[in-house]
A and B are shown apart, each in its own frame.
Chain A
Amino acid sequence: MVTVDPQQPPLLQMRSIVKQFPGARALDGVDLDVVPGEVHCLLGQNGAGKSTLIKVLAGAHQPTEGEVLVDGEVVTIANPVAALRLGVATMYQELDVVAGLTVAENVFLGHELATAGVSRRREARRRTREILARLGHPEISPHHEVGSLPAAAQQIVSMARALSHDARVIVMDEPSAVLDSDEVENLFRVVRELTAAGVAIVYISHRMEEIRAIGDRITVLKDGRTVARDLPVASTPTRELIRLMTGRSVEYAFPEGTDLPADAPVVLDVAGLSLRGAFTDVTFQVRAGEIVGLAGLVGSGRSEILETVYGARRATTGTVEVAGRRLRPGQVQAAVRAGVGLAPEERKAQGLLLDEPVYRNITLSTFGRFAKGGMLDERAERRTAQEQAEALDLRPTGVDRAIRTLSGGNQQKAMLARWLVHGCRVLLLDEPTRGVDVGARAEIYALVRRLADEGAAVVVVSSEIPEVLGLSDRVLVVSDGRVVHQGPATAIDEHAVLDLVMEGSAA
């Protein structure tokens, strides 16, 4: 960790920032001091105002009140270009790369190297190569089209872009969300290099262990306000941080697993399932009331396994049976009809109709039930959705608002509500808590356990190994497209899982 002298003059200050949107006050008095060379962690639940704050810093939003100071001088960040000129670069959580352009073109997007309008492509490529090498990814060629790269590599490109600006402050919004643990290490190495050179990092993450590993000081936001500032990472207990963020004091609360009756029937039976180029010979069974976790690195094939079981991808070989009946391969409708539900990894892109009201998202798989002869009974539909929303404590209440306006955790609850309405026998959850804040996580864990207790067979995929271990009854460790271990979740710990994963990929 870089030693930071909190007494040195701050590089960036935000004072009493207020951002008023029509009908909502997103920021209501935020203070933030960032000194050179530190990793300043910004903590807060979804909806606490982190994203708005970042956008104010990046010049995408103008604050209603308050001031931003750089080097002690009040500045106006009128637009993203102004932010970059002041030395503030932002890496957004959502990938902001242009799929059709090459890596080099993306890195220098918006500040192309050019002489009299003619781009200096050779130099752009050279500098891109340098930055990528510095990021520990010399294997990414500047010539590659970004759309053809895996998500993790796209994240690297996004990071390379931030570095290409010679920024003095880099804002990183959940940079590790799509990274594997070894890539997170790489990220940390780059962050340490940057801070050693005096660059300040504003680091946003839900993962406490990352903050412990890399952070220097913490500022906590709650409901658009700074509730605690400049807490030293080393001496602030996690419990205290969670209390500040939530007003509650709960660590990840995993619900107690109940003992599975010995005669619980097998609901999901996957045998010899393979998908060329993704995974090979995957065999497992899930019984009613059981939660099975798939642990593995990004790219190990775990998401593909879920999607293939669901029929969203067509298996090369192998079978999937639900309650003894074989599903037609590559047919999502067959799976849904058999009572299988999937909460996909990319909730917004794969799960939701963002501009449609909440109730229509909840009934997206079942609206046919509210119809006679093709004619919809929207009142019955809305009532059913409303009941589920209330049962799951969906907030804000009211199922007529566009689902876009809900937080990540509540969107995820709506996804689960969809399958609750459907009455699933098998529930496939891909990264159920990505982008979900700590408070809502506990609720989702409890909900998943409740569904299992009610007789559903649940399969969970997560990048967070503690989550897989804490939530599941049984764990499958996936490495390089193969299941390398199956066993009770209580019989294995995080390190053992990591060992298995590493071993598997080395073999």
Chain B
Amino acid sequence: MSEHQLSAQPPGTTPAPPAADESARVEQVAREASGRTRRGGSSGGAARILGLVVALAAICVVGAVTSGSRFASLDNLTVIVSTASIIGVVSIGMTFVITAGGIDLSVGSVLGLSSVWATTVATQTMADQYGWIVMVGCALAVGLAAGLINGVLIAYGRVVGFIATLAMLVAARGLAELIAGRRTQLVNVDSFSSTFKGDLLGVPKIVWIFAVVAVAGWFVLNRTTFGRRTIAVGGNPEAARLAGIAVKRHTMYLYALCGLTAGIAGVMMLARTGAGSSTNGTLYELDAIAAVVVGGTLLAGGRGTIVGTVLGVLIFATLTNIFVQNNLDSSVQSVVKGAIIIAAVLLQQRFTTRTPRSGT
């Protein structure tokens, strides 16, 4: 509006000095105001992401200072990203569930179960015959099935997500122990190892998997109807339902998706450790939830950010690495992690009170 007034100024006239002052001030205010709207409107998430990047950079500086080249070497950075990959894939699935206002406590157990089921004698014998695809198919199927059971119970059985997935956490771990007989099952299918172990273009293959899952996750959450439904269901389930969105079906899909990512992580675990074990993925659910929340996804639902989740995962992986490099007690590590979760949430509440949205 003030710009209109300014442009209405006939060209060639020289306004009296006070008026010029006034209009210049008005113009400046208008510019600031419009800038503010733009920032606040479309990229409330950008500031959050920037904060996470700064935090990650600061942690890296700490690592470089305390451990020097042991930290800042290409090898070590590869180690960090590899460690982050498995939790990372689980966290992508978790981001969807949490954005929709849910929670999945079973991902770690499901990861363990899928790694065990994919390495039983029966599965590996078949894999010898038909190739590694059998093991991968088995792991993904186990993850998807577990996620579907969660989803059906929560969406149609009206069991609270926390409880349904808590039950799955216990049950899947138990089933994995039964199947494995508490033994570690080594991967002895060569085609699996040759396909998933090692590097591609100098980067570990499991990191590639993480990258692909993360990019796909970003795309689905921000650019597809599936993602929009996820945000709507998390933001206001009743409004979503009354707008004609199939909230129950979508909820089921979300938990199935999360289970599937746990299955993918199971495959990655086999690639990394070379063994299926019922203890694989223990407590991963907590790491994943922590990464998602630190990343800026609202635990209450309605806002989710894949980029934030990836940064959250990297922050925790880097920290762990620094602690290992400095031979610090893992107990100290846990305390610091706890403090970081609280600090991140407090900071976010402080700086991002306006127009929370998805879009990063």
Bind each other: yes
Q: Does A65 contact B (CB under 8 A)?
A: no
In the bound complex, CA of A349 to CA of B241 (Å): 12
In the bound complex, CA of A78 to CA of B351 (Å): 24
Residues of A near B226 (CB, < 8 A) are 374
Q: Does A352 contact B (CB under 8 A)?
A: yes
Q: Does B307 contact A (CB under 8 A)?
A: no
In the bound complex, CA of A418 to CA of B265 (Å): 41
B223 touches A23 (CB 8 A): no
A293-350 interface (Cβ within 8 A of B) = 310, 312, 332-333, 335-337, 342, 344, 349-350
A357 touches B243 (CB 8 A): no
B231 touches A375 (CB 8 A): no
Name the contact of B235 in the complex, choosing from A333, A355, A376, A401 (C-beta under 8 A).
A355
B228 touches A367 (CB 8 A): yes
A355 touches B357 (CB 8 A): yes
A374 touches B41 (CB 8 A): no
A371 touches B224 (CB 8 A): yes
Supposing A332-B244, A355-B355, A355-B356 touch, asked if A376 and B239 sit within 8 A by C-beta, the answer is no
Residues of A near B242 (CB, < 8 A) are 310, 312, 332, 342, 344, 350-351
Name the contact of B244 in the complex, choosing from A337, A360, A402 (C-beta under 8 A).
A337
In the bound complex, CA of A478 to CA of B235 (Å): 34
Residues of B near A364 (CB, < 8 A) are 232, 239-240, 243, 245
A350 touches B239 (CB 8 A): yes
- Sorting the interface of chain A by its residue count into under 10, 10 to 19, 20 to 34 or 35 or more gives 20 to 34
In the bound complex, CA of A337 to CA of B244 (Å): 8
Supposing A360-B228, A375-B223, A402-B357 touch, asked if A353 and B238 sit within 8 A by C-beta, the answer is no
Residues of A near B9 (CB, < 8 A) are none
Q: Does B302 contact A (CB under 8 A)?
A: yes
A352 touches B236 (CB 8 A): yes
Across the interface, name the chain A residue whose C-beta is closest to B303.
A355
A349 touches B238 (CB 8 A): yes
Instruction: Say how far A180's CB is from chain B's closest CB, in angstroms.
Output: 24
Q: Does A123 contact B (CB under 8 A)?
A: no
Across the interface, name the chain B residue whose C-beta is closest to A353.
B235
In the bound complex, CA of A400 to CA of B44 (Å): 12
Residues of B near A360 (CB, < 8 A) are 228
Instruction: Say how far B297's CB is from chain A's closest CB, in angstroms.
Output: 13
Residues of A near B232 (CB, < 8 A) are 353, 356, 364
Q: Does A488 contact B (CB under 8 A)?
A: no
Residues of A near B356 (CB, < 8 A) are 355
Q: Does B327 contact A (CB under 8 A)?
A: no
Interface string of B91-125 (1 = CB under 8 A from A): 00000000000000000000000000000000000
Q: Does B36 contact A (CB under 8 A)?
A: yes
Q: Does A354 contact B (CB under 8 A)?
A: yes
Q: Does A141 contact B (CB under 8 A)?
A: no
B239 touches A351 (CB 8 A): yes
A370-410 interface (Cβ within 8 A of B) = 371, 374-376, 398, 400-402
Q: Does B212 contact A (CB under 8 A)?
A: no
Q: Does A368 contact B (CB under 8 A)?
A: yes
Supposing A357-B357, A360-B228 touch, asked if A333 and B246 sit within 8 A by C-beta, the answer is yes
Residues of B near A367 (CB, < 8 A) are 225, 228
Q: Does A238 contact B (CB under 8 A)?
A: no
Q: Does B33 contact A (CB under 8 A)?
A: yes
A354 touches B236 (CB 8 A): yes
Residues of A near B238 (CB, < 8 A) are 349-350
Across the interface, name the chain B residue whose C-beta is closest to A334.
B244
A376 touches B41 (CB 8 A): no
B280-333 interface (Cβ within 8 A of A) = 302-303
A: residues with CB less than 8 A from B are 23, 310, 312, 332-333, 335-337, 342, 344, 349-357, 360, 364-365, 367-368, 371, 374-376, 398, 400-402, 418
B: residues with CB less than 8 A from A are 33, 36-37, 41-42, 223-226, 228, 231-232, 235-236, 238-246, 302-303, 355-357
**7 A-B residue pairings within 8 Å (CB atoms):** A335-B244, A352-B236, A353-B240, A355-B355, A356-B232, A356-B357, A401-B37
What are the 6 closest A-B residue pairs judged by CB atoms, nearest first?
A: A336-B244, A353-B235, A364-B243, A365-B243, A374-B224, A400-B41
